């Protein structure tokens, strides 16, 4: 018998690279930049950047903060590192030292940039085309000088609804982007599509696509069958097996009451590891048997370190056996749907937890 206690996160960097290479075939004419903000959605920005750079030949990376850029810099020294949230006072030193490229999101950020310019760095300019999040609006774009415009290296925008292929906003935003670009930035390279927009028509691709979520295995085009691969497995050991008698409660606040005698497994993962607490009495885990997969329902509340699962109908399980929490058969998108969110948030939550025994496959 094996006795383990910690949950395991396996990240398959080969599959990650497969996803990146596959996405490049969808937008073959565009430069394929990688988005590795949020520590590569929790999967480890350094490891991910290194493989995309060394094996994927990626030379353009997007992070949210300079501090994130600092983390990947040693692995991608000859590349452009764009910082999406722009340059703030608390990170100016890092920008300078590593020649990171700020994205200018507002006139205030432009003003700050002009006072703190970095020699040899040409910022990207972010314009809003309908998402109404970050980016200059047209009345602000009109205030840019010729010098401002010629100081930029890239004009970019962001689509709001690109995961729905026939959403009216997609073409509305594309038309607006084309119009603003032609009117104000005719000479700049441009970028509009992220992992979702890339699956729309070719005209969305522009000069550069920004590939994030789909590289990490998230299905960003649910309306078609894409070749995106799940790249992670999350596993957790059974650390105890016990019986419930009919009428027994299980878990905090006694939200589960056994209607008959049950066999339960206590599995070593909980919301402290990123397992969503709103999967209390809803979640399911999996066991890989010789020739088939069995599933067990989470019963009672998810607690910080453990979940309780009903294994009444699964034979031959013992303490030390490994359950699957996320795998090809139940991926982050599936868990996202069950917990009323999206795969992005699921991945971001699991990925950052230091308690996992973390393995990279490469």
Q: Closest Cα to residue 325, out of 300, 341, 346, 355?
A: 346
Q: Is 161 one of the binding residues for a second copy (CB under 8 A)?
A: yes
360 contacts a second copy (rule: CB under 8 A):
no
| Cβ partners under 8 Å of residue 163, min gap 6 | 196, 220, 221, 222
Does residue 86 bind a second copy (CB under 8 A)?
yes
Per rule CB under 8 A, is residue 3 in the interface with a second copy?
Answer: yes
Q: Cα–Cα distance between 255 and 301 in angstroms, integer?
A: 7
Q: Which of 189, 284, 352, 358 binds a second copy (CB under 8 A)?
A: 352
CB 216 within 8 A of CB 231: yes
Reply yes or no on whether 252 is catalytic: yes
List the one residue from 319, 322, 334, 360 that touches a second copy (CB under 8 A). 319
**First-to-last C-alpha distance (Å) of the chain:** 29
Contacts of 135 (CB under 8 A, 6+ apart): 105, 126, 127, 128, 129, 157, 158
Please pick, from the candidates 133, 203, 329, 362, the single residue that binds a second copy as defined by CB under 8 A: 133
Q: Which of 250, 317, 326, 335 binds a second copy (CB under 8 A)?
A: 250
DSSP helix/strand/coil, 326 = strand
Residue span binding a second copy (CB under 8 A) among the ranges 15-23, 156-164, 177-185, 219-227:
156-164
Site size toward a second copy, by CB under 8 A? 83
Give catalytic status of residue 37 as yes or no: yes
**Window of 22-30, 102-110, 289-297, 326-334 that interacts with a second copy by CB under 8 A:** 102-110
Q: Which residue has the tokens 């990170």?
A: 91
Residues 259-298 that bind a second copy (CB under 8 A): 264, 266, 268, 271-272, 277-278
Considering only residues 327 through 346, tell me which ones interact with a second copy, judged by CB under 8 A: 340-342, 344-345
**Which one from 67, 223, 252, 318 is the annotated catalytic residue?**
252
Question: Residue 151: helix, strand or coil by DSSP?
Answer: coil
Q: Judge contact between 74 and 101, C-beta under 8 A.
A: no
- Of 313 and 340, nearer to a second copy (C-beta) is 340
Overall size of the chain counted in residues: 362
For residue 22, the surrounding DSSP H or E stretch is helix 13-26
Least distance in angstroms from the C-beta of 123 to a second copy: 14
Q: Residue 212 CB, nearest distance to a second copy (Å)?
A: 9
Q: Which residues pair with 307 in a beta bridge?
A: 267
Q: Cite the active site residues.
A: 37, 252
């Amino acid at each position: 018998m094996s006795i383990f206690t910690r949950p395991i996160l396996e990240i398959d960097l080969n599959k990650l690279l497969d996803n990146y290479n596959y996405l490049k075939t969808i937008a073959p004419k565009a430069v394929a930049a990688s988005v590795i903000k949020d520590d590569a959605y929790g999967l480890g920005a350094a490891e991910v950047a290194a493989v995309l750079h060394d094996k994927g030949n990626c030379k353009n990376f997007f992070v949210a903060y300079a501090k994130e850029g600092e983390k990947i810099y040693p692995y991608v020294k000859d590349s452009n590192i764009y910082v999406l949230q722009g340059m703030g006072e608390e990170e100016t030193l890092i920008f300078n030292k590593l020649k990171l490229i700020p994205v200018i999101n507002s006139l205030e950020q432009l003003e700050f940039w002009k006072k703190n310019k970095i020699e040899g760095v040409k910022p990207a300019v972010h314009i809003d085309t309908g998402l109404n999040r970050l980016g200059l609006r047209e009345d602000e774009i009109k205030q840019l000088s010729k010098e401002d415009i010629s100081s930029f290296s890239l004009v970019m925008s962001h689509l709001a609804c690109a995961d729905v292929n026939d959403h009216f906003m997609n073409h509305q935003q594309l038309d607006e982007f084309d119009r603003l670009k032609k009117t104000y930035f005719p000479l700049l390279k441009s970028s509009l599509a992220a992992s979702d927009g890339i699956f729309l028509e070719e005209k969305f691709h522009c000069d550069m696509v920004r590939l994030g979520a789909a590289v990490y295995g998230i299905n960003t085009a649910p309306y078609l069958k894409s070749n995106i691969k799940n790249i992670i497995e999350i596993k957790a050991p059974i650390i105890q097996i016990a019986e419930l008698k009919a009428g027994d409660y299980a878990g905090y606040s006694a939200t589960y009451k056994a209607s008959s005698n049950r066999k339960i497994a206590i599995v070593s993962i909980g919301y402290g590891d990123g397992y969503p607490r709103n999967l209390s009495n809803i979640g399911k885990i999996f066991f890989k048997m010789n020739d088939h997969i069995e599933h067990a329902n989470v019963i009672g509340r998810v607690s910080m370190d453990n979940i309780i699962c009903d294994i009444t109908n699964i034979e031959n399980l013992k303490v030390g056996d490994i359950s699957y929490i996320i795998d090809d058969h139940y991926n982050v998108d599936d868990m996202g749907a069950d917990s009323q969110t999206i795969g992005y948030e699921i991945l971001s939550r699991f990925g950052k937890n230091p308690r996992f025994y973390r393995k990279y496959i490469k």
